[in-house]
Amino acid sequence: MTVLASKPEPGAAPPPVEVESRRAAAARKWVWTAIIIAVWVVLWRIFHGDATLTLGQRDHTPLHQDLTGFRDSVLASRDTNPFVSLTYSIGERLTSFADWLSRMISTKDFPRPYPQIGWLGVVAIATWIGYAVANLRIAVLVLVSFLAFGAFGYWEDSIDLLIVTMLAVLIAVLIGLPLAVYYGTGGKVGVGILTTLMDIAQTMPTFVYLGPIVLFFGIGTSAGVVCTLVYALPPIIRIAGHGLRRVSPTTIEATDSSGQTSWQRLTKVQLPMARATIVVGLNQTIMAALSMATLAAFVASPGLGKPVLRALQSNDVGGATVPGLLIVLMAIMLDRTTTAASLRAEKASRGGHDPKWRRIILAVTAVVALALVYVSRTYSWAAGYDNFLAQLKSSAGIDLTSLGRNTANLVDDVFNWISSTFDGITEAIKNIISYGLLNPLQDLLSESPWFVTGLAIVAMASLLGSIRGFVSAVVGCALLWYFDLWHDAMITLNMVLVATLLVMILALVFGVWMARSRTVDFILRPLLDAGQTIPPFVYLIPVLALFDATRFTAIIAATVYAAPVAIKLVADGISGVSATTLEASRSTGATTWQEITKVQLPMAKSSLVLATNQGLLYVLSMVVIGGMVGAGALGYDAVLGFARSEEWGKGAAAGITIVVLGVMIDRICRAAAADPNDQSSRLQLEWVKARARFQGSRSTV
Amino acid sequence: MRTNWKRATQLVSASAVALLALSACGGGDIASETQQNEQNAGSDGDCGDVNMALNPWVGYTADAYVFGAVAADKYGCNMVYKDLKEDVSWQGFGTGDVDIVIEDWGHPDLEDKFFAEKGDGSATNVGDLGATGIIGWFVPPWLAEAHPDILDYKNLNKYAKDFATSESGGQGQFLGADPSYVQFDEAIVKNLGLDFKVVFSGSEAASISAFQKAEENKEFLIGYFYEPQWLFADVDLQRVALPPYTDGCQDDPAKVACDYPETPLQKVASTKWLDSGSPAVDLLKKFNFTNDDQNTVAKYIEEDKMSPEDAAAKWVADNADKVASWTS
């Protein structure tokens, strides 16, 4: 969440001979933790059910009423309030521009039965752009992707998603780059405020601001673009800003000595030198935008999210999988294209000129592309993809007309087989974890008096993170209490903890395995990439069918969602352990098990801590989706607030509570990891690097 | 090299101009289709876009697409369907984002905000849809047969333990549906002193599969359900009697302790759109769709896996007389 580098603490470096005492300190910590938990359990037994601050599912407090009242007053004043009319006119302009684009390339431009440029023309232009900005391989990838959008029957939705995503990215770059410059070069206070704002934007569940955005910007494309923007803006600011800050001070000093203005310094030195990082930021912004644009289907924003959402409403596993995979394909296409484009641009900036033949090819293919545009405006088979498929069937005998539905049916069959075959097993797993772990832990967290749980959290945070942990926990718990959803927050916290535990088990097993075997790494990595880009709704449906509407469903969905990041972090951390250290341990005759537990894992400790932290935050971001499938608590409150206008205040409070939980956990983790007994500066650097790498690749809800 | 580049650019721009000029007058079959659409649109005044909210249950989809099929066919309207929850749809009346909510189950709070009597007047009631909505608490048929007394709410506590699941914390589980639907179950449970906890399935489809599974495996299940719904033809869910509905007993959502009323479903539309003179306005006023009609189309969609467009087209073809009565 934060990439703000903290200053190394002078004097905190560990004295060399203190290994023994450090071990003793660790043991002391464990003893104290055990004591705290023991006291907590005793108090829980005594005061079970007292002062739990439980709020009925449809009850609200005056605070929630006030929030709802505020929303109502904005809604009532929307015709007269100048701010609302400003945002409305912005929204209208966004919508009409996106509509115009979509009538050009995706949907029928009524009364014309097709868009102005038919599918063939769009494919031709896109492929040409792929070649122009990158290379032939990218052009082929773009060509195949676009053909797949149509062949599976989702041409219009795919292009609409592309339009919404690109529009949001364009605005994100326009707003984000200046902010990134400030973030990379500005003063401490301003940067701190910006960081907090970005933290909130990325942790706040979308459902909470989806409602207000509709209020200010209207339904449809405009709301879609704006909520995508909120979520996609932080990565480019963070990562580009980080790149700017990293430009070496010696270079700046050297060029400053030649008497340049600060504008010259920025445009001639800092921006060019941070170019590669800025492109990474752009890339991450595109990925974030793509994942959020899918979710914007909840406010009727066009795109592939629409069929996915409809499939969720009708429990259609196959019907969700096909558009879900097309989203993954689009993500891969955009990711590879931007990466390749940045490489080409870098080469060009170093003075490598395009060879002559390439320019000739570009010119010739441009003509071909335009010719195809003309064809796509003239013939109906080149204008509507359906017509093309029908033509293909009648004249060439190739029947692709129901490729999408057939694929969906195949997925359905496979899935039905799985769910009927393993029905008993899944039920058993669900019950073992629910009754064995989930229920007791939830009882302890939520049925203790609130001040007991709160004190236990504060005590453990202080133990692990000393003074910074203490402050974070106190502020966090106070805010949780203030927003009147303590009981729900504890139930959510419980689910988050259990899911994170599962994530870390997976991360350790697969992370170690990947780090130790190149083959495993090679096979798993693409799967993990796909796991990070596929919209959560897609796998929510099968998980729901396997485990019913329960907290367990939510936990599994969250685990699937968070595991790829954690696995990658652990694998990268362990691969980073130096080969010489491993050699040394092997020469002492250590077994594989000893090598893993005594050398690799301890040496990769910072990565493990980071993986846990990121796992937690990813899991937290799935909480709201869990609320839609019977998991209840904060997620349900947020969904309810979006769905029913009289509950908006409670939903907003739930959203804020989720943010508070996320930020509190993050700060406690960081305080714990920055334990002065560890090499704190190295750890912080790792932290910053890894976060920058993963920032934005997550798609929150 | 430079001249080469220049020549290439010239070539490209020249051909681009030529192509654009050609394409402007090019047409063939596309032009004739366009003309056809224009004629359709022109015959009865200009219809243009009609923004139809699609609330998330299949019965609604059925009404909406049948209306859309007729509007597009007879008046050349361009139907724009928007997947929205009920509350968000109503917000769209004032902004022109939504023109029609074709199946409204009664939202006193939204009516206060958006009807002319108390609110900003952006929405107007267009009258009965023709279908009657029945919301209630239902159990699978096997359960009603095995334990007939379960159909009275007073006996529910006796069975609470049988309804318990891993989610209900020792109480009985009551299966709620999509949180956005009209519902007071938490309040009813609380105010009638029932030992149950409401757990949400999240969607219509999830509730349907839960009831199907419960009937198949003879499991205890009680939950929120409603008619018209095609599922009743397959699994004849039995309604549990709650204290009868009386006027005003649902006015305060937190204090509800009575059954749901039978709701004549309403057509609601944007006031602005109603005044626009669109030929589809008249169609909306005459549009009448009964529970049976809806169940037929919903079943095409849900069980026969037809697309909503095809399902609506099939019904329209089979019911020419009804359609004729809306368009005369």
CATH number at residue B199: 3.40.190.100
At residue B183, φ and ψ (nearest 5 deg) are -165, 150
pLDDT at A643: 83
Size of interface A-B (CB pairs under 8 A): 193
Question: Is B26 within the bounds of a domain?
Answer: no
**Neighboring chain A residues of B78 at a CB cutoff of 8 Å:** 108, 110
Q: Are residues B125 and B269 in the same domain?
A: yes
- Choose, out of B38, B65, B199, B213, the residue to mutate when testing the contact with A (most A CBs < 10 Å): B199
Q: Are residues B218 and B237 in the same domain?
A: yes
Residue B273 to chain A, least CA–CA distance (Å):
16
Single-letter amino acid, residue A687: W
Question: Is B11 within the bounds of a domain?
Answer: no
- Residue in B29, B92, B200 nearest the CB of A630: B200
pLDDT at B52: 95
Residue B88 near chain A (CB below 8 Å): yes
Domain range for B71: 45-133+263-327
Q: Are residues B156 and B273 in the same domain?
A: no
Question: Is A154 within the bounds of a domain?
Answer: no
Q: Could you tell me which residues are beta bridge partners of residue B137?
A: B224, B240
Write down which residue in B262, B293, B308 finishes a domain: B262
Q: Could you tell me which residues are beta bridge partners of residue B239?
A: B138
Domain range for A529: 18-79+422-701
Question: Is B2 within the bounds of a domain?
Answer: no
Q: Are residues B146 and B186 in the same domain?
A: yes
C-alpha A694: how far from chain center: 9
Pair of tokens at residue B206? 């999830």
CB–CB contact A309 B83 (8 Å): yes
Query: How many CA atoms within 13 Å lie on the side-chain side of A82?
Result: 0
Pair of tokens at residue A333? 């296409």
Q: Are residues B191 and B271 in the same domain?
A: no
**Neighboring chain B residues of A315 at a CB cutoff of 8 Å:** 203, 205-206, 208-209
Residue B5 near chain A (CB below 8 Å): yes
pLDDT at A693: 42
CB–CB contact B23 A377 (8 Å): yes
Question: Is B256 within the bounds of a domain?
Answer: yes
Residue B38 near chain A (CB below 8 Å): yes
* Cα separation, A675 vs A680, whole angstroms: 7
Q: Return per-residue pLDDT of chain B as tens, 328 residues.
A: 444 555 555 555 555 555 554 444 444 577 777 777 777 665 555 788 899 999 988 999 999 999 999 999 888 888 999 999 898 899 889 888 899 999 998 888 899 889 998 888 999 999 999 999 999 999 999 999 999 999 999 999 999 999 998 888 789 999 998 888 888 898 899 999 999 999 888 788 888 888 988 998 899 999 999 988 888 888 999 999 999 999 888 888 888 899 998 889 999 999 999 998 888 999 999 999 999 999 999 999 888 888 899 999 999 999 999 999 998 7
Kindly give the residue spans of alpha helices, DSSP state H, lying in chain B: 2-25, 29-43, 58-75, 86-91, 108-114, 141-146, 156-159, 185-191, 204-216, 231-234, 271-274, 279-286, 291-302, 308-318, 320-327
Question: Is B173 within the bounds of a domain?
Answer: yes
Question: Is A359 within the bounds of a domain?
Answer: no
Task: Give the CA distances from residue A65 to residues A62, A461, B43, in Å, rounded to whole numbers and listed in that order.
Answer: 5, 33, 51
**Neighboring chain A residues of B253 at a CB cutoff of 8 Å:** 58, 646
Question: Is B23 within the bounds of a domain?
Answer: no
Q: Which residue of A has its CA nearest to B169?
A: A439
Domain count, chain A: 1
Task: Give the CA distances from residue A560 to residues A59, A504, B328, in Å, rounded to whole numbers and listed in that order.
Answer: 33, 12, 56
Predicted ipTM > 0.85: no
Contacts of A496 (CB under 8 A, 6+ apart): A558, A616, A619, A620, A623, A661, A665
pTM of this structure: 0.83
- Residue in A219, A431, A550 nearest the CB of B82: A219
Q: At CA A443, angle to CA A439 and CA A447, rounded to 5?
A: 155
Which residues of chain A have a pLDDT value below 50? Answer: 1-17, 676-701
Residue A100 to chain B, least CA–CA distance (Å):
14
Q: Pairing mode, if any, of strands B196-200 and B49-54?
A: unpaired
Kindly give the residue spans of alpha helices, DSSP state H, lying in A247-355: 249-256, 262-264, 271-273, 275-295, 305-313, 317-349
Residue B287 to chain A, least CA–CA distance (Å):
25
Task: Give the CA distances from residue A31 to residues A44, A444, A452, A460, A466, in Å, rounded to whole numbers and listed in that order.
Answer: 20, 20, 19, 12, 16
Residue B271 near chain A (CB below 8 Å): no
- Residue in A72, A371, A630 nearest the CB of B199: A630
> What is the tens place of the pLDDT at every residue in A484-512?
899 999 999 999 999 999 999 999 999 99
Residue B30 near chain A (CB below 8 Å): yes
Residue B96: CATH number of its domain: 3.40.190.10
Question: Is A22 within the bounds of a domain?
Answer: yes
Residue B217 to chain A, least CA–CA distance (Å):
12
Q: Pairing mode, if any, of strands B123-139 and B238-240?
A: antiparallel
CB–CB contact A113 B37 (8 Å): yes
- Residue in B9, B166, B208 nearest the CB of A430: B166
Burial of B175 (0-12, 13-18, 19+ CB in 10 A): buried
CB–CB contact A360 B9 (8 Å): no
Q: Are residues B257 and B152 in the same domain?
A: yes
* Cα separation, A200 vs A663, whole angstroms: 8
Task: Give the CA distances from residue A318 to residues A311, A322, B108, in Å, rounded to whole numbers and listed in that order.
Answer: 8, 6, 38
Burial of A588 (0-12, 13-18, 19+ CB in 10 A): exposed
Q: Are residues B184 and B219 in the same domain?
A: yes
Question: Is B152 within the bounds of a domain?
Answer: yes
Write down which residue in B262, B278, B307 finishes a domain: B262
Domain count, chain B: 2
Nearest residue to A575 via CA among A694, A674, A691, A690: A690
Q: Do residues A674 and A6 touch, judged by C-beta distance below 8 A?
A: yes
pLDDT at B42: 57
Question: Is B204 within the bounds of a domain?
Answer: yes
Write down which residue in B223, B244, B262 finishes a domain: B262
Question: Is A557 within the bounds of a domain?
Answer: yes
**Neighboring chain B residues of A312 at a CB cutoff of 8 Å:** 203
Instruction: Provide the 10 A C-beta neighbour count for residue B307.
Output: 12
- Residue in A211, A313, A378 nearest the CB of B56: A313
* Cα separation, A464 vs A668, whole angstroms: 8
> What is the tens place of the pLDDT at every residue in A551-561?
888 899 889 88
CB–CB contact A220 B97 (8 Å): yes
> What is the tens place of the pLDDT at every residue in A665-674?
888 887 877 6
Question: Is A637 within the bounds of a domain?
Answer: yes
Question: Is A600 within the bounds of a domain?
Answer: yes
Collapsing DSSP states into helix, strand and coil, what is residue A84?
Answer: helix
CB–CB contact B210 A356 (8 Å): no
Residue A518: CATH number of its domain: 1.10.3720.10
Question: Is A618 within the bounds of a domain?
Answer: yes
Residue B272 near chain A (CB below 8 Å): no
* Cα separation, B322 vs B320, whole angstroms: 6
CB–CB contact A315 B254 (8 Å): no
At residue B102, φ and ψ (nearest 5 deg) are -90, -15
Instruction: Provide the 10 A C-beta neighbour count for residue A208.
Output: 24
CB–CB contact B201 A629 (8 Å): yes
